[in-house]
């Protein structure tokens, strides 16, 4: 397996945490591409974390800032990592990053796992521009979608057209959806532990980014993107099911992912969608196990002060 992470690092803190987890995991890394508004400004944040891990060999490319189908939802500053914004990276509209994704698919073939933890603009663009190369790729693991509620999950809603193109691509697409990831919270005691962590290197930089992010956000980090990485690394980490799914690209339900397994849409939408595709969706994970593994690997925290009760989770659920 060799991973290519496509990320909107710089908004929610979970991308930085996923990158930290990837750097502390024993996995080959093909490269990192950034996506969504201010894609070029996201690059130095990733470069800094790679550098602290001694991984200057990993290429980082600025992808597309503009979605295929709509305007970027937020304008203005990113949420953390300002100290890394200079020097500015040239913004080529994502051309080099999209070409890089296609080239990696050709070079690594089925070994390549594309980890899509932002809007899917770059990956959809690569599928459109380099269809023959992209057919050679292995899995596409997407953090995104919601298949039990009529909820326009962020990564899908930021570029519904891109999400539709990826879903309909015929490639091996697996979804780690919002209704599962949003229940994997690090918990108050782990959060306080990270906020108080003063150390050097990658771990210290991640703690500093969490502190910077925490000044603008009043909720405890959820491990959306790290969970997608954990599943990409070890599919036995979560239970899965196969469903028929579609993306609503426009109109009032724009950005909603439909579960059409029963023919009507069990997340409340009675759509007939000939464009539905059968995809793999995570439908259960041991949240406490995920949080503990994350804290151990990324923040070297071996004593587990948190409890399942603190997270407020049930354990498994089914679609
Ligand atoms: Ca993300």
Q: Which residues, 6+ apart, have CB-to-CB distance to 235 below 8 Å?
A: none
| Rounded distance from Cα 262 to ligand 1 centre (Å) | 30
pLDDT of 222 above 70 = yes
Among 67-71, 96-100, 199-203, the minimum mean pLDDT is found in 67-71
pLDDT of res. 266: 53
Put the strands of the sheet holding 28-34 in their side by side order: 60-62, 28-34, 2-7, 112-117, 139-143, 172-176, 277-285, 238-247, 257-259
Mean pLDDT value across residues 25-39: 96
Fold of domain 2-183+221-287: Inosine-uridine Nucleoside N-ribohydrolase; Chain A (3.90.245)
Token pair recorded at residue 173: 């697409």
Task: Report yes or no: 290 and 229 within 8 Å, Cβ to Cβ.
Answer: no
Q: Where are the domains of the chain?
A: 2-183+221-287
| Rounded distance from Cα 272 to ligand 1 centre (Å) | 30
pLDDT of res. 319: 39
| Rounded distance from Cα 18 to ligand 1 centre (Å) | 9
Tokens 């439908």, residue located: 283
**pTM reported for the whole predicted model:** 0.92
Task: Report yes or no: 186 and 295 within 8 Å, Cβ to Cβ.
Answer: yes
> What's the chain's average pLDDT?
89
pLDDT band at 89; cut points 50, 70, 90? confident
Q: Looking at the chain, how many residues does it have?
A: 319
**φ/ψ (deg, to 5) at 123:** -70, -40
Tokens 């593994």, residue located: 293
| Rounded distance from Cα 73 to ligand 1 centre (Å) | 14
Mean pLDDT value across residues 52-80: 87
Task: Report yes or no: 3 and 113 within 8 Å, Cβ to Cβ.
Answer: yes
| Rounded distance from Cα 225 to ligand 1 centre (Å) | 6
pLDDT of 56 above 90 = yes
pLDDT band at 211; cut points 50, 70, 90? very high
pLDDT of 230 above 50 = yes
Task: Report yes or no: 39 and 91 within 8 Å, Cβ to Cβ.
Answer: yes
For the stretch 110-120, pLDDT in tens is 999 999 999 99
């Amino acid at each position: 397996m060799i991973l290519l992470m496509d990320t909107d690092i710089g908004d929610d803190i979970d991308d930085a945490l996923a990158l930290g987890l990837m750097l502390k995991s024993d996995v080959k890394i093909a490269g990192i591409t950034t996506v969504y508004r201010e894609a070029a400004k996201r690059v130095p944040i990733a470069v800094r974390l790679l550098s602290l891990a001694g991984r200057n060999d990993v290429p980082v490319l600025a992808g597309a800032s503009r979605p295929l189908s709509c305007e970027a939802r937020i304008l203005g500053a990113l949420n953390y990592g300002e100290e890394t914004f200079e020097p500015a990276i040239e913004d080529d509209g994502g051309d080099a990053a999209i070409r890089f994704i296609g080239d990696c698919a050709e070079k690594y073939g089925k070994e390549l796992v594309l980890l899509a933890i932002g809007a899917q603009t770059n990956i959809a663009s690569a599928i459109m521009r380099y269809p023959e190369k992209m057919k050679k790729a292995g899995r596409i693991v997407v953090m995104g979608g919601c298949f039990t509620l009529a909820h326009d999950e962020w990564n899908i809603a930021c570029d519904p057209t891109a999400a539709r193109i990826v879903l309909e691509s015929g490639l091996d697409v697996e979804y780690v959806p919002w209704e599962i990831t949003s229940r994997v919270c690090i918990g108050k005691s782990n959060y306080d532990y990270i906020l108080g962590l003063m150390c050097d290197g990658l771990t210290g930089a991640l703690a500093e980014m969490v502190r910077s992010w925490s000044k603008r956000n009043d909720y405890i980090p959820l491990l959306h993107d790290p969970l997608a990485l954990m599943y990409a690394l070890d599919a036995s980490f979560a239970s899965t099911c196969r469903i028929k799914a579609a993306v609503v690209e426009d109109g009032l339900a724009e950005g909603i992912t439909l579960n059409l397994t029963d023919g009507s849409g069990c997340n409340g939408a009675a759509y007939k969608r000939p464009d539905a595709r059968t995809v793999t969706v995570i439908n259960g994970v041991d949240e406490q196990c995920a949080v503990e593994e994350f804290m151990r690997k990324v923040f070297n925290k071996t004593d587990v002060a948190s409890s399942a009760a603190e997270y407020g989770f049930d354990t498994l659920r089914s679609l």
